[in-house]
Each structure stands twice: as C-alpha cells, then as structure tokens.
Amino acid sequence: MDALLAALADPARWLLVNLLAERPRSVGVLAQLAEARQPQTTKHLQALERAGVVTSQRTGQRRIYALRSDPLRDLAAALGRLADTADQADGPRSTFDRYGLSLDAERFAAAESGWADGRSFRFLRSLAAHPELVWRHLTESPLLARWWTPDDLRVAELVFEARPGGRVLLEYRDAEDADGSALTAGRAEGVVDDVRPGEHLAYRLSPLLPDGRLAFTAHVDLGLRPTATGTDLDVRWRITDSTVDSADFVAGIEIGFGQSLDKLAATLATHPTDTGSTK
C-alpha cells in the first residue's frame, strides 16, 4: 500500500493513471497526451508498474501499458474504511466537531473579563454502586485518576485532600503521550469547601492559562442520593472570575466533564461492590 500511495502521489504519474483508465496505450502516445518527454514518461510508467498499479507487454516495437484495477479498488476500500472510522457515530471526530462549534461560540462571547460569570452546568448520572464506593471514587486520588479526565487525556498529577480547606491539583496530558514528552494538556488548582462523606462534596477548581494566570473559577457541587440500584449523582458547576482567555476552557466543560462522568459510571458498573482500599 505504501508503494502504491507513493506512486500515485506524483501529479505526472496520476495523469498517466487517468489516461490508462480510459484504455491501454503505448508509451509514445502517453507521452504525447501528457505533453512530456518519452524517457521521463517511461520512468513514470516503470514506477507505476513496480507499485503494481499498471502492467505492460511488448507488441512489435511498441510497449503497451494497461491499468490494473484491483490495487485501486483495494486502495479505495482502505480509504473507505478510514472514512467510516472517522465518521463513526459519537466517535472522536464527532466530539472534535462538537467542541469546535462550542469553541467558536464561546470565543465570540468572550469580549471582556467576567463574560462567563454566573454560567452554570448540571450533570446527572445514575451509578451502579452504593454511595460509600461512589464517595471513594470522588475523593481518593488513585480512584479519581481512573476517570477524572476526558477520553483523550490522562491524569499526570493529582492531589485531592478531602477535607475543608484541602488542596486540589489536577494536571493532565494527552492519553497517547506515553513518555510525557509532549506539552502538558492542562493544569488546574483549587480548594475543597465542604465534605459530608457519602452525601455532599464541594470544591473550587481553576484551570491555569499557559502564563500561569487563572482562566476562571469553577464552583463544583456534588450531591449523592442512595437508590435501590446504587446512587444518583447530581453535579453542578458555576463559573466566576472568568477571563477573556478562558473561552477555550469553558467550551470544553460540558463535553469534557460529561465524558469523565461516563468513565466513572463505566468503572463503577464494572466493579459495583469493590470495597478494597487504595491506600
């Protein structure tokens, strides 16, 4: 496939492929139609033949070239599979497009400091685990690290001190940045405001801009309610102290934190009664 793609990438060879799609032709005729010198046309045809996309046979003094359709059909099928993967419903490309639309809207709205103050977001999830286990996943750093990022990111550093006045720190990187050599995707710092184990958790979290300034402050309030099948989790975000440069972060809240909670739900659905300590 690599050889075929390399062969077709040259505009002169692509023209020859188009001419041969119409009918088999001799080198001399192909050179005339392509308005090229015959020796150069011969070199291009030989490259196409090595790649398997054309075949040739000598007839008297002439060499006739013909197009082989199977490699092109294989290439078309491979490209079709790539397109299908990119276009899968609710896949990464769909998320990328949704974020792009949100980004355009938020950047347009971010005209002055405080532009997003008072904005709120609400997330509801029914979780297949009792409140005590849900609470541990909300407050214990090793368990938080399993879910507290969107799908395309991973936790690089995490501190969560589950007490009033406790420190919160979250640094995340690209999920595929295995050696940590790429730029940090983001960092946020905050403080815990309220802790009622198994019932209520509140904290403030501020994403940091590249220059170290706070983008905004998110006031995050989480309520837990036991149900017959587990726990209902009610999460509310409220924004204050928003800067003009915070639009990129605000645009990702609904998608990003929603994905994080979906990961939490999936984790708890897999181990709904896990009571093992992470400490």
Q: What is the pLDDT of residues 144-193, one digit of tens each?
A: 999 999 999 999 999 999 999 999 999 999 999 988 899 899 999 999 99
The rounded distance, in Å, linking the Cα atoms of 191 and 216 is 14
C-alpha 63/C-alpha 42 separation (Å) is 10
- Annotate 111-140 with b (16+ C-beta within 10 A) or e (fewer): eeeebbeebebebebebbbbbebbbbbbbe
| Cβ 7 vs Cβ 51: under 8 Å | yes
Mean pLDDT (the chain, rounded): 94
Q: For 250-261, what is the mean pLDDT?
A: 96
Residues in the chain: 279
pTM (2 decimals)? 0.79
Which domains, ranges and CATH numbers included, belong to the chain? 2-86 (1.10.10.10), 114-270 (3.30.530.20)
